[in-house]
Amino acid sequence: MSTILEVDNLVKKFGDFEAVKGVSFSVEEGEVFGLLGPNGAGKTTVISMLTGILPPTSGSARIGGYDISENPDQVKKINGLVPQDLALYPTLSARANLNFFGSIYGLRGKALKERVEDVLRVVTLTQRADDAVETFSGGMKRRVNIAAGLVHQPRLLFLDEPTVGVDPQSRNHIFESVLRLNRERGMSIIYTSHYMEEVELLCNRVAIIDEGRIIALDTIKNLIAMLGGGVIHVGLAQIDDALLAQLSALPAVKEASLVSQPAPPPPTEGEGVERKESEAVQASNVVKIVAEHSQQALINVIGYLNKHDIALTSLEILEPNLESVFLHLTGKKLRE
C-alpha cells in the first residue's frame, strides 16, 4: 500500500501563539484516517495548511508525492476539502452549485454533467437536485457541501467536522457516504471530529490531537488496548501519597493517580471563604485507577477502602473507548 500523505513536523504560529506544534503523521492510500480532538485542538489549522488555505510556519508535507508549498496547483487537483463552514450559494440549486464548483476544476460539458449526477447520488440528493439550497435542512446543506468537495474526483478527501449541527438522519447519510466512497471507490479520507463515536465507526487509524500536538496515533484497537481493562474514577474524602501508593500496589491495578480537576468557580457575593476552600478540596479528591482487569480491580479497591474505613464519595467506571483514552492521556474529556 502506497502513502498518499506525509506530514513532517508541521508548525503554525499566529504571532506569538503556536496553534500547531510540530505535527507529524502519514496516511496510506485507501485509508480513512481520523484526527480526533476537542474544539481548538488544532485540527482545522492542520487541514487548512494541508489544503493550501494557510501557509505553514515551518515543517513540510507531501500529498501524492507533491510538496504542498512547492507544488500547490498539483496538490489541489488531488485534494478535496469539505470545510466546517458551508461554502454554498443559497439561492442556487444544488445542481447549479455543483456545476459551478466543477467548472472551477476545469470540468465542462458531458464530463461535468456526469460528475454532478454521480456526486448527487453519493449524497442521496438526486430528488432535490433542482431545489434552491436555502430551502434545505441543515443536514441536506452539509451533504451538498460534501458533494462540492467530491465533484472533481479527488484522491484524498478532507472532511472537517462534517456532522456539526445536523440531524440524526442526515448524520447517518453522511456516514454511509463516507463508507461508500472508501469501500467502493478506494478514496483516501481524513476525517476530523470531536465525536469519538464517529471516529470509532469510520476510521482505520486515529491521531489524537490536543493543544496543537499529536499525543497518540495508532489503530483504534491498539489505542483502546493502552488502557488494559479500563479506567475507574473513585472519589474519596481524604487522599494522600501513601494511599495512592497502596492502591497502585493492589492486584489488577496498574496505576492509581490523582485526577486533575478544573478549579471551581469563585464564590458569589455573600458566600464565605469556607465554601471556596471546601470546593477546592473536593474538586481534587478523585483517584484515577488504571486497571488490568476492571471488575477485579474494583473489588480489590472497594475491599481495601472498607478495610481501612476510608469513605467513598463517588464512583465512575469508564468503558474502554476513545473517550476514556483521551481522558487517560489528557485528564479532560473531549467535549469539556
Structural domain boundaries of the chain? 3-224, 228-319
* Count of beta carbons in the 10 Å neighbourhood of residue 2: 8
| pLDDT the model gives residue 335 | 63
What tens-digit pLDDT sequence spans the chain (336 residues)? Answer: 699 999 999 999 999 999 999 999 999 999 999 999 988 999 999 999 999 999 999 999 999 999 999 999 999 999 999 998 888 999 999 999 999 999 999 999 999 999 999 999 999 999 999 999 999 999 999 999 999 999 999 999 999 999 988 888 888 889 999 998 999 999 999 999 988 889 989 999 999 999 999 999 999 989 988 776 778 999 998 899 999 999 999 999 989 998 865 444 455 444 444 444 444 434 458 999 988 888 889 999 999 999 999 989 999 888 778 888 888 888 777 765
In this prediction the pTM is: 0.78
Please give the C-alpha separations between residue 162 and each of 139, 147, 248, 283, in angstroms, as whole numbers.
9, 12, 42, 35
Looking at residue 87, its pLDDT comes to 87
Out of 1.25.40, 3.40.50, 1.10.3210, 3.30.70, which CATH number does the structure's domain 228-319 have?
Answer: 3.30.70
> Per residue in 117-126, is it b (16+ CB within 10 Å) or e — as a string?
eebbebbebe
Looking at residue 330, its pLDDT comes to 83
Q: Is 251 exposed, middle or buried (0-12, 13-18, 19+ CB in 10 A)?
A: exposed
Shared fold status for 3-224 and 228-319 = no
Residue closest to 35 by CA, chosen among 235, 254, 216: 216
CATH number belonging to domain 3-224 = 3.40.50.300
pLDDT of residue 59: 97
For position 281, what pLDDT does the model report? 39
